[in-house]
Structure 1
Amino acid sequence: MKDESKNFVLFAVIAALILFGWPLVQNRFFPTANPPATKVEQGKSRALPQPNADPTADSPAALRDRAQVLAESPRIRIETPALKGSINLKGARIDDLVLTRYNETVAKDSPPIRLFSPAGTQDAYFAAFGWRDEGLRPPAADAVWTASAPVLTPGTPVTLTASNAQGQRFAIELAVDNDYLFTVKQTVANAGRGAVPVAAYGLVNRIGVSKDPDSWTIHTGPMSVNNGAAHYNPNFKDLASGPARFTSNGGWLGFTDKYWLAAMVPDQGRAFDGQFRAGPNQSYQADFTTAPQLLPPGRQLSQTAKLFAGAKEVKLLDRYTDTGAVTKLDYAIDWGWFRLVEKPIFYYLDLLFRLIGNFGVAIIILTLTIRLLVFPIAQRQFASMAAMRALQPKMKAIQERYKDDKPRQQQEIMALYKAEKVNPLAGCLPTFIQIPIFYALYKALLLTIEMRHQPFALWIKDLSAPDPATILNLFGYIPITLPHFLAIGVVPVLLGISMFFQFRLNPAPMDDAQKQVFAILPWVLMFVMAPFAVGLQIYWITTNCISIAQQKWLYSRHPQLKQAPAK
Structure 2
Amino acid sequence: MKDESKNFVLFAVIAALILFGWPLIQSRVFPTANPPATRMVDGKNKPLPNSAADPTADSPAAIRDRAVVLAESPRVRIDTPALKGSINLKGARIDDLVLTRYKESIAKDSPPIRLFSPAGTTDAYFAGFGWRADGLTPPAADAVWTASAPVLTPNKPVTLTASNPQGQRFAIEIAIDNDYLFTVKQTVANGGGAAVPVAAYGLVSRVGVSKDPDSWTIHTGPMSVNNGAAHYNPNFKDVDKEPTRFTTTGGWLGFTDKYWLAALVPDQGRAFDGQFRAGANSAYQADFTTAPQMLPPGRQLTQTAKLFAGAKEVKLLDRYTDTGAVTKLDYAIDWGWFRLVEKPIFYYLDWLFRIVGNFGVAIIILTLTIRLLVFPIAQRQFASMAAMRALQPKMKAIQERFKDDKQRQQQEIMALYKSEKVNPLAGCVPSLIQIPIFYALYKALMLTIEMRHQPFALWIKDLSAPDPATILNLFGYIPITLPHFLAIGVVPVLLGISMFFQFRLNPTQMDPAQQQVFAILPWVLMFVMAPFAVGLQIYWITTNCISILQQKWLYSRHPQLKNAPAK
Conserved 8 A contact 1:55-1:210: no
Does 2:406 align with 1:389? no
Work out the CA distance in 1 between the residues paired with 2:54 and 2:419: 65
Show the counterpart of 1:243. Answer: 243
Work out the CA distance in 1 between the residues paired with 2:482 and 2:51: 22
1:130-156 CA-partner distances (Å, limit 9, x unpaired): 011111111111111111101000001
The alignment covers a number of residue pairs equal to 567
1:56-84 CA-partner distances (Å, limit 9, x unpaired): 65542310011111011110100000000
1:233-272 CA-partner distances (Å, limit 9, x unpaired): 1110111222111111111000000000000000011111
Work out the CA distance in 2 between the residues paired with 1:265 and 1:4: 63
1:184-236 CA-partner distances (Å, limit 9, x unpaired): 00001111111111111000000000011111101110000011111111110
Does 2:434 align with 1:434? yes
Work out the CA distance in 2 between the residues paired with 1:412 and 1:183: 71
Name the stretch that deviates more: 58-67 or 237-246.
58-67
Structure 1 gap segments, 5+ residues each: none
Show the counterpart of 1:293. Answer: 293
Does 2:39 align with 1:39? yes
Residue 261 of structure 1 aligns with an amino acid whose one-letter code is L
Show the counterpart of 1:7. Answer: 7
Show the counterpart of 1:78. Answer: 78
* Cα drift, residue 395 of structure 1: 1.6
Does 2:181 align with 1:181? yes
Conserved 8 A contact 2:4-2:511: no
Q: What is the Cα-based RMSD across aligned positions, in Å?
A: 1.1
Show the counterpart of 1:558. Answer: 558
Residue 104 of structure 1 aligns with an amino acid whose one-letter code is E
1:457-514 CA-partner distances (Å, limit 9, x unpaired): 0000000001111000110111111122100111111111111111110101111222
Name the stretch that deviates more: 384-393 or 116-125.
384-393
* Cα drift, residue 54 of structure 1: 3.6
Conserved 8 A contact 2:254-2:286: yes
Show the counterpart of 1:472. Answer: 472
Conserved 8 A contact 2:507-2:563: no
Q: TM-score, normalised by structure 1?
A: 0.98
* Cα drift, residue 449 of structure 1: 0.4
* Cα drift, residue 55 of structure 1: 7.6
Conserved 8 A contact 1:77-1:152: yes
Work out the CA distance in 2 between the residues paired with 1:59 and 1:215: 30
Conserved 8 A contact 1:56-1:116: no
Conserved 8 A contact 1:55-1:115: no
Show the counterpart of 2:490. Answer: 490
Change over 3 Å in CA distance of 1:251–1:175 after alignment to 2: same
Conserved 8 A contact 1:80-1:178: yes
Change over 3 Å in CA distance of 1:301–1:136 after alignment to 2: same
* Cα drift, residue 24 of structure 1: 2.1
Show the counterpart of 1:543. Answer: 543
Secondary structure at 1:51 match in 2:
coil
Conserved 8 A contact 1:312-1:448: yes
Q: How does 1:18-37 map to 2 (within 5 A)?
A: 18-37=18-37
Residue 37 of structure 2 aligns with an amino acid whose one-letter code is A
Show the counterpart of 2:339. Answer: 339
Work out the CA distance in 2 between the residues paired with 1:420 and 1:234: 55
Work out the CA distance in 2 between the residues paired with 1:227 and 1:346: 28
The sequence identity of aligned pairs, in percent, is 89
Q: How does 1:218-257 map to 2 (within 5 A)?
A: 218-257=218-257
Q: TM-score, normalised by structure 2?
A: 0.98
Work out the CA distance in 1 between the residues paired with 2:429 and 2:6: 32
Work out the CA distance in 1 between the residues paired with 2:285 and 2:57: 20
Conserved 8 A contact 2:54-2:123: no
Work out the CA distance in 2 between the residues paired with 1:57 and 1:496: 43
Work out the CA distance in 2 between the residues paired with 1:300 and 1:168: 9
Show the counterpart of 2:106. Answer: 106
Residue 508 of structure 2 aligns with an amino acid whose one-letter code is A
* Cα drift, residue 7 of structure 1: 3.1
1:75-130 CA-partner distances (Å, limit 9, x unpaired): 01000000000000000000000000000001111100000000000100000000
1:405-424 CA-partner distances (Å, limit 9, x unpaired): 32222222222111111111
Residue 272 of structure 1 aligns with an amino acid whose one-letter code is F
1:317-342 CA-partner distances (Å, limit 9, x unpaired): 00000000000000000011110000
Secondary structure at 1:480 match in 2:
coil
Name the stretch that deviates more: 395-404 or 272-281.
395-404
* Cα drift, residue 170 of structure 1: 0.5
Residue 433 of structure 1 aligns with an amino acid whose one-letter code is I
Show the counterpart of 2:305. Answer: 305
Residue 160 of structure 1 aligns with an amino acid whose one-letter code is L
Secondary structure at 2:456 match in 1:
coil
